[in-house]
Amino acid sequence: MSAETLTGVEPLAVTSSRQRRSGRGTVRRLGPLGVAAVVIVGLLVLAALLAPLIAPYDPAIGSVVERYQAPGAAHVLGTDQSGRDLLSRLLYGARTSLTGAAVVVLLAAAGGTVLALVATWFGGRVDALVGRLLDLLFAFPNLLLAILVVAVFGTGLTQAAVALAVAYVPYTARVLRSVALRERRLAYVQAAELQGLSGFVVTGRHLLPNIAPQILTGAAINFGYAMIDLAALSFLGLGVQAPTADWGLMVSQGQDSLLQGYPGQSLLAGACIVVAVAAFSVIGERLGGRRAGGRA
Amino acid sequence: MLRFVIRRLGALAATLLVSSFIIYAAMYAAPGSPESFLVRGRTVSPEVLASIRVQYGLDEPFLVRYWHWLTGVLSGDFGESLATRQDVASLLASRIPTTLGLTAYAALLIVVFGVVAGVVAGLRGGALDTAVLLGSSVGFAIPTFFAAVLLMSVFAVTLGWFPVFGAGAGLSGRLLHLTLPAVALALPAIAVVARITRTAVVEERDTEHVSVSLARGVPWRVVARRHIVRNAMLPVTTIVGVNVAALVAGAAVVEHAFTLDGIGSLLIDAVQQKDFAVVQAVALVLVAVFGVVNLVIDVLYAVIDPRVQLGGESA
C-alpha cells in the first residue's frame, strides 16, 4: 500500500513547481470536476463560518408542535423529530464535520511527521523501535483503535478526533518515513551533515521542507476519510453528542424517524456527508496525481 | 511455506501478548472505576465497598490483576461482564456467529462483485467501463453507516423486501436478514476493489506479452484468462485482503445500524456502558482475528503467485 501511494505522490513535486506560477495551470490541473469540488468545499467552509448568521433558526431549539414538518415556506427542508429546523442543523453540522476532520488531519500529520523524521534522522535502533511501534498499531484494525481510545478518554468531538488521529498516525508515519529516508540519502543532505550542521537544523531546514508536498497530499487524502470515520463514530454514539448538530449524529437520530416514514433527516445529513467526502477526495486525487487506493 | 507460517504465527502470538497488555492497561487507565460502576451511584458503606473490591480482586496491584486476567484468557476465561454479570466467554460465543456470517457474506460480495466488475470493465472498456468507474467513485464516498440507513430506507421500509432488524432464524431467514447489512458493509470495499482491479487489468492488457500472444494468434479468451486476469490478480489480492481484514472491525457499524447481535455491537454497547471486561475481551478477539486474516492473505499471495518467496520477507 505504501509503495502504491508513493508512486501516486511522486509526480506532485514536479508538476506543482512547474505550474505553481500560473493560476490557469492550477485550474487546468484540477479539471472541471476538480473545480466543482473546490467550489463545494468553499461553500461548505462558508456555511460553517457563517452558520450563526445565515441559519434561519436555532439548531438546538425546536417545538414539539412543529415536529416532522414537510419542507415548506417556514422550514425550507422541514423539521426533525423534535421540531428543529433541518436546514439550520445541517448548516451547523458543517462546523463539527469540518473542524473535527481538520483536527484529525493536523494531529495525524504532525504525529506522523515527527515519528518519520525521528526514525529517519537517528536511524538504527530508534528507527527499529519506531518501526515496531507502528507494527503494533497496525495490528489493530483502524476503527477498533479509535473505539478503544474513545473508551479511555470518553465521548465527544475532541476525544473522537484525537482517537482517529491516533488511528491515522501509523499510515502517515510509514509513508513519510520512506520519503524522508530517500531524501536523507541525497548528497546535499550528507554535505550539510559533513559541514557540521546539527541534526535538528538539517531535519528542520532540509528534510521537512522537502517532504512537505507529501505531507500535504497525505493530509488532503486523509481529510475525506476523517470526515467519514468521525461521522461513523458519532453515528455509533461515541463521537459528537446530542443536542449538538452533526451530520453523522443526524443520520443516526433520523433512523427512528425513517422507520416511521420520515426519512428526511437521515437522507439529507447523509447526502451532505457524501457530497463533502466526494469533493475532498477529488481534490486529494488531483493534488496527489492519481487515485489513492486506501487509507495509506 | 510451513516455516513461514510458523514464524508468522509466533510473531502474531507476540503481537497479541503486547496488545493484550496495552488493551488491559488502557482500560485500567480509563476514568470511572469498576467499583463505582458496580454500586451504580448508590451510597454504600466503606465496608461494602472494600468487600466488593476484594470480591472482584480490585485491591490487587495492576500487574497482578493483569496476570490473573491473562492466565484466565489463555484458559478461555474472559471474566465476568460488569454490567450483566454474564460470563464474557459465553457472551462472545453467542455473539460471534452473527458477525462471522455477516463478514463472510460481505467478503463474498466484495470478491464476486468487486473483482468481476473490475475485470469486465478492464477487459471490455467502453460504456461499461465508464459505468463501473462512475459507480465506484460514488460507492467510495458513501460511508458504511449511511449505506446501511439508505438500504434500510429503500428496501426494508419503502419496498418491504427485507426485514429491518434482527438476525433471523434458520438458514434462509439468516441469509435474508443479513443481506442488507452485508451489502452495506461491502459497498465501499466493492467500489475500491472494482477500481483497483480495473486499473490492474488495463495495465496488464497493454503489456508486451499480451500483444505478442495476440499477434501469434492465441485466442482472446485464452489470453484474457491466462495472461491478463491471472497476472492482474496480484494487486487485487492485496486490496481484497486489506478490505476483508477491515471488515472485522467495520462490522460494528453495520451491526449497530441494523441492531444485529454480533460482537461489534457488543463492543459499542460495552464502551458506552464502560463494561471494560467485555471491551477487553472483544478488542483482543478482534486483534487476533485481524492478525489471522492478514496471515491467511499473505499465504494466499504465495499460492497465487509462485514467484513470491515467503521466506524472504520477515514480518
Q: What is the pLDDT of residues B136-149, one digit of tens each?
A: 878 888 889 999 88
Distance separating alpha carbons of residues B149 and A63, to the nearest angstrom: 26
Angstrom distances, CA of residue A221 to CA of A46, A69, A185, B55: 21, 38, 27, 51
Residues B303 and B295 sit within 8 Å (Cβ to Cβ): no
Residue of B nearest to A135 (CA): B15
Residue in A4, A143, A266 nearest the CB of B250: A143
What the block records as the C-alpha cell of A43 is 461553500
How much is the ipTM here? 0.83
Residues B178 and B101 sit within 8 Å (Cβ to Cβ): yes
Q: What is the pLDDT of residue B106?
A: 95
- Closest approach of chain B CAs to the CA of A133, in angstroms? 11
CATH code for B96-304?
1.10.3720.10
Distance separating alpha carbons of residues B192 and B174, to the nearest angstrom: 27
Contact A235 B141 (CB under 8 A): no
What is the number of other CB atoms lying within 10 angstroms of the CB of residue B311? 10
- For chain A, 296 residues long, give each residue's pLDDT as a single digit of tens: 334 343 434 444 444 444 444 556 666 677 788 888 889 999 999 988 887 888 787 877 777 777 777 777 777 777 777 778 888 888 888 998 899 999 999 999 999 999 999 998 888 899 999 998 998 888 898 889 999 988 888 888 998 999 999 999 999 999 999 889 888 888 888 888 888 888 888 888 888 988 888 898 888 888 988 999 999 999 998 888 878 888 988 888 888 888 777 888 888 999 999 999 888 888 887 776 543 333 33
The four Cα atoms B264, B266, B270, B275 give a dihedral, to 10 degrees, of -130
B chain contacts of residue A170, beta-carbon cutoff 8 Å: none
Please tell me whether the overall predicted TM-score, pTM, comes out greater than 0.90 for this model: no
Contact B145 A147 (CB under 8 A): no
- pLDDT tens across B254-280, in order? 999 888 889 999 999 998 888 888 999
Mean pLDDT of B93-100: 90
Residue of B nearest to A294 (CA): B192
Q: Is the CA virtual torsion A153, A159, A162, A167 positive or negative?
A: positive
Contact A148 B249 (CB under 8 A): no
| Complete domains list, chain A, with CATH | 33-59+88-291 (1.10.3720.10)
Q: What is the pLDDT of residue A206?
A: 84
Sequence-distant (6+) residues with CB within 8 A of B168 are B174, B175, B176, B177, B178
Q: Which A-chain residues 44-63 have CB contacts (< 8 A) with chain B?
A: none
The yes-or-no verdict on residue B92 having pLDDT over 50 is yes
Q: Does B111 touch chain A (CB under 8 A)?
A: no
Please report how many Cα atoms fall inside a 13 Å half-sphere around the Cα of residue B285, on the Cβ side.
26
Q: Does A261 touch chain B (CB under 8 A)?
A: yes
Q: What is the pLDDT of residue A99?
A: 92
Distance separating alpha carbons of residues A3 and B133, to the nearest angstrom: 23
- Closest approach of chain A CAs to the CA of B209, in angstroms? 23
A chain contacts of residue B286, beta-carbon cutoff 8 Å: 141, 144
Q: What is the pLDDT of residue A281?
A: 83
Give the start-to-end residue ranges of the domains of chain B: 2-74, 96-304
Contact A148 B238 (CB under 8 A): no
Q: Does B99 touch chain A (CB under 8 A)?
A: no
Residue of B nearest to A224 (CA): B141
Contact A274 B250 (CB under 8 A): no
Distance separating alpha carbons of residues A19 and B125, to the nearest angstrom: 32
Contact A139 B287 (CB under 8 A): yes
Sequence-distant (6+) residues with CB within 8 A of A88 are A51, A55, A56, A57, A58, A59, A245
The yes-or-no verdict on residue B285 having pLDDT over 80 is yes
- Closest approach of chain A CAs to the CA of B273, in angstroms? 10
Residue of B nearest to A276 (CA): B141
B chain contacts of residue A278, beta-carbon cutoff 8 Å: 137-138, 140-141
Q: What value does the mean pLDDT of chain B take?
A: 84
Residue of A nearest to B273 (CA): A151
Which residues make beta-bridge pairs with A85?
A: A79
Q: Does B242 touch chain A (CB under 8 A)?
A: yes
Q: What is the pLDDT of residue A21?
A: 47
Contact B19 A140 (CB under 8 A): yes
Residues A113 and A215 sit within 8 Å (Cβ to Cβ): yes
Residue with more model confidence, A27 or B301: B301
B chain contacts of residue A148, beta-carbon cutoff 8 Å: 23, 26, 279, 283
Tell me: cis bond preceding B34? Omega within 30 of 0 counts. Answer: no
Q: What is the pLDDT of residue B315?
A: 38
A chain contacts of residue B141, beta-carbon cutoff 8 Å: 224, 274-275, 277-278, 281
- Closest approach of chain B CAs to the CA of A193, in angstroms? 32
